[in-house]
Amino acid sequence: MSKKVQKIAIIVSFVIAIGGSLTLLMTWKNIGFTDGFMGAWLSSFALCVLCIAPIGGVIAFMINRLVNLVFPSLSSVKKNIVFGLIMAVLMESIMAVVTTMNLHGFMVLKDFIDFWLVTFVSALPAGLAISVLMSLVIKPKLAAFWAKPA
């Protein structure tokens, strides 16, 4: 398998695993395991992937540069933790907006904020854990893997 295909496969597998698990938590918290759960979860997952995948890399690049600019004296481990925490909050926020809109549609702003907050908070602990794991373990390994010539 070529290096390009491996890189794409790695990114796709992370998007599916992380996006799938977090949207599952968000959907469950919003509607529970009802008859329509599977369809609601799959549509929320698909919408989140369509929103997150294209912008996730750009957001990660910008946050990484910002962390390095704002905290130049921190160790790489501490920078990775800060990066992971910021990424978790940003990506969870976006996923919560998409999931809330998908499950509840457009509504009065106060109701939307209430649903969004429940959605965001329900998946935040998992998102933070995943993000720290990604930042401390997986990100350095991926960086080393991607730095190798094809």
Measuring CA to CA, which residue among 141, 142, 29, 3 is closest to residue 92? 29
| HEC readout, 51-110 | HHHHHHHHHHHHHHHHHHHHCCCCCHHHHHHHHHHHHHHHHHHHHHHHHHHHHHCCCCHH
Query: Using one digit for the tens of pLDDT, what is the confidence trace for 9-33?
Result: 887 888 888 889 999 999 999 888 9
Inform me whether the pLDDT recorded for 51 exceeds 80. Answer: no
HSE at residue 127, side-chain half, CA atoms within 13 A, is 27
Measuring CA to CA, which residue among 93, 98, 99, 92 is closest to residue 127? 92
Inform me whether the pLDDT recorded for 1 exceeds 80. Answer: no
**Average pLDDT estimate for 35-58:** 87
The domain segmentation of the chain, as residue ranges, is 3-147
Query: Using one digit for the tens of pLDDT, what is the confidence trace for 66-109?
Result: 999 999 999 988 998 898 889 889 988 998 999 999 998 887 99
| Cα–Cα distance for residue pair 33/54, rounded to 1 Å | 29
Q: What global pTM score does this model have?
A: 0.82
| Cα–Cα distance for residue pair 89/127, rounded to 1 Å | 8
